[in-house]
Amino acid sequence: MAYPDLQSYIAALDQRGFLRRIKTTVDPVLEISAIADRISKQPTVDGQTPPATDPVHGGRGGAALLFENVQGHKWPVAINLFGSYERVRMALGCNNLEELAARVQKLIKPEVPTTLIEKMKKIPELAKLASYPPKIVRRGMCQQVVRKEDADLRELPMIQCWPHDGLAGYAGKPKEITAGTGRYITFAGIYTKPRGGGEINVGMYRVQLHDTRTMAVHWHMHHDGARHYRQHAAANERMPLAIVFGGESVLPYAATCPLPPNVSELLFAGFLNDGGIELVPCQTIPMEVPANAEIVIEGWVDPQEKIWEGPFGDHTGFYSVADLYPKFTVTAITHRQNPVYPTTVVGYPPQEDYYLGKATERIFLPLLQMIVPDIIDYHLPRFGAFHNCAFVKIRKEYPYQARRVMHSIWGAGQMAFTKFIIVVDEHVNVHDEQEVLFSLGANVDPSRDLENVTGPLDILDHASVSYGGGGKLGIDATRKIPGEGPYRDFPDRLLMSSDILNRLDQRWKEYGLD
């Protein structure tokens, strides 16, 4: 089972020895992030066996951290809570991600009952589906303390992750660091609604502190939050927005999921939680937020006002550029008694977001296969920072099938931003990067097997020829067959006979080699 709130999850981590409490005073400006960055590169404390889908990096992640004395603040700061596969599994309430992927597959492609008995057996499953939508309640612990006129953002222990964060206009030359210039909210759900009402969208976007009641909200043009903002801006109406910390342990993951359009993150969170998320109405805006949250910031985004945001040290390992983004004005801050403030640091991987992203890779394989049935498996290697590279395995059946798969992926949701796609045959383990590169060297002729296209890219890609767009490359690393351009017979791969391999298995101890 998943956990009902953040502090229950933290207590479970502590009980299992996955949490480290830091009692000495630490600075939220750079010191906390530097500690978390170093810890994230260390071996995990979970005692887990690296999963087959990540044999190289699965044993990293360090410990979850709870800083109990943060300089200038009264609330403790939690970080790296999701920084390993085992902790992600705990938060999602599952034994393994493949089990959860199977649940997703049944949700998106349910089996149709054919007999009366089968229909009767489906009734409990249908009843469970009905329990996934969020439930509105009158009160929640997220509003045990309500502050309106005296709300002050500076009381939240926001961290500054990297030295040049928030120094708008930074052009690659060192500048004197002003303490707290680049303090950010990095691990909270951003709650918005489309103009005219509709399902709440939950995204995880960074938000930069400016003063006691003002922040800059950063979102990509492709995000639902940005789409809602454009709707309100077109009508010259301000937009209600809530920033939510904590809540059920499934919520941070649900906020990061690349869900299909019009699929609610809260509905998916209810599915992961095996029960609907309880929501409570906000105090000052027309929005509902999780009743079990630690902290909620309420306010309005004015379409007529933009302020500087950035630069920001991002998951690519580089600073993203500063630009003008919507101004968010706070109307209230509510919180539970004695809350814990969750945060994260992003940067050169692996970081905490790496494990959340790899969970998405596994859980959403059935959804990708529904869009592109040719795909047997895929892998988003760490060096690609998720958007830069994908290894894809197919069972090749006809000429140019690999190219069809590439273009299908470039049309599939957020996979559209993938800059490099390498397609391999079904016998290749896409999670073994050396195997993929071997196929690249063995099967590719650059004059024949490269597919160059132009299209949208992640706006964080600083190498692209334009902002949010540029070239993409597909590489067909499959064994070639007749009909795929200039063709020569491919030689057979070196494979030992099964009789000999069986003999080795039976006689291995006799050889005395172990």
Distances (CA, A) of 21 to 24, 100, 370, 477: 9, 31, 44, 48
* Nearest to 102, CA basis, from 110, 90, 92, 113: 110
What is the model's pLDDT at position 465? 85
Question: How many CB atoms are located within 10 Å of the residue 211 CB?
Answer: 10
Domains of the chain: 6-113 (no CATH), 133-342 (2.30.110.10), 372-476 (3.40.1670.10)
pLDDT at residue 58, as a whole number: 52
Query: 């809570």: which residue's tokens?
Result: 81
Query: What stretches of 16-169 adopt beta strand conformation (E)?
Result: 19-22, 64-67, 77-79, 135-136, 145-147
What pLDDT does residue 174 have? 43
Taking the CB of residue 145, how many other CB atoms lie within 10 A of it? 14
From 314, 353, 374, 449, active-site residue: 314
Q: What is the pLDDT along the chain (514 residues), one digit of tens a residue?
A: 799 999 999 999 999 999 999 999 999 999 999 999 999 988 877 665 556 555 555 556 789 999 999 999 999 999 999 999 899 999 999 988 888 888 777 765 545 455 555 544 444 544 454 568 899 999 999 999 999 999 999 999 999 999 999 986 444 444 444 445 699 999 999 999 999 888 899 999 999 999 999 999 999 887 888 899 999 999 999 999 999 999 999 999 999 887 766 678 998 899 889 889 999 999 999 999 999 999 999 999 998 899 999 999 988 888 988 889 999 999 999 999 999 999 999 888 888 888 888 888 888 888 888 889 999 999 999 888 878 899 999 999 999 999 999 999 998 878 888 999 999 999 999 999 999 999 999 999 999 999 999 988 887 788 888 888 899 999 999 999 999 988 888 888 889 999 999 999 999 999 999 7
| pLDDT on residue 115 | 57
What pLDDT score was predicted for residue 251? Answer: 96
Whether 211 is a known active-site residue: answer no
The C-alpha angle with vertex 226 and arms to 219 and 220, in degrees rounded to 5, equals 35
66, β-bridge pairs: 21, 78
pTM: 0.86
